[in-house]
Amino acid sequence: MTRTVCIHQPDFAPHLGFFQRLEDSNVYIVLDDVQFIRRGWQHRDKIKTPRGAAWLTLSVRKTDFEAPISEVRLVDEDGGDWRRGNLNLIRENYRKAPFFDRIFPEFEALYGRGLVRMVDHNMAVLEWMRGLLDVTAETLFASDLAQPGAKSEKLARLTEAAGGDHYLTGSGSADYLDPAPFAARGIWPEIRPYEHPVYAQRHGDFVPYLSALDALMNMGPAARDLIRRRRETA
């Protein structure tokens, strides 16, 4: 039986395409031992407003900009009230969404935990979203697997360490993925494009690739059907 592995940084509240890859995988390896990317997706994603898409951003310590993801820390309340700002932005733009009263208190509670490491906060959000979307892939951490190498070599080693024979990734990997390290280990690397499904949103025309928080606010747990439907028609 094929054992499919997805490897990805612990991004903050990612779009549905990320959860689709997890749905199609047996194992999710959290790539937490690579360098944090400033202005990347590890500390921000987009939500929808009447003016279009807007960033929802976590504040991280500037001293950690060059650190591995596993060591990046969030700014505490003495350094800026970003948590309240995030929650106010969501409340302002989703308070009339059909599932706001169900989803927002749960999301707010995650912020109330006051987690210091960015990876801990992001994983708390990811696990909550996965629960609502019923995505059950096993989770491993790259920092625990401790595989050397860079880029495709590292990804192939991680896949092998997790017992995988199929590496699943998105179209963003097409420019750098080298199949040779995978082939040397008998692993099939697959780049699978993702076409975002359309659902009813507030605030005008549909905007794809927003945080999955948008789908949850508008559809509630029924947002899982967006993933199941794609799996069944693939």
User: What is this structure's pTM?
Assistant: 0.93
Q: How far apart are CA 50 and CA 203, in angstroms?
A: 5
Q: Which residue has the tokens 């975002």?
A: 196
The 3-state secondary structure of 79-106, one letter per residue: HCCHHHHHHHHHHHHHCCCCCHHHHHHH
User: Residue 130 pLDDT > 70, yes or no?
Assistant: yes
> What pLDDT, in 10s, does the model give residues 206-225?
999 999 999 999 999 999 99
Confidence grade of residue 175 (pLDDT, cut at 50, 70, 90): confident
> What pLDDT, in 10s, does the model give residues 54-77?
999 999 999 999 999 999 999 986
Predicted confidence at residue 234, as pLDDT, reads 46
Residues in the chain: 234
Taking each helix axis from N to C end, the angle separating 16-23 and 224-233, rounded to the nearest 10 degrees, works out to 50
CA distances from 70 to 9, 27, 36, 57, 116 (A): 10, 19, 9, 18, 11
Residue 69 structure tokens: 């993801």
Residue 58 structure tokens: 């976590």
Domain 4-233: give its CATH code. 3.40.50
Question: Where in the chain are the domains?
Answer: 4-233
Confidence grade of residue 166 (pLDDT, cut at 50, 70, 90): very high
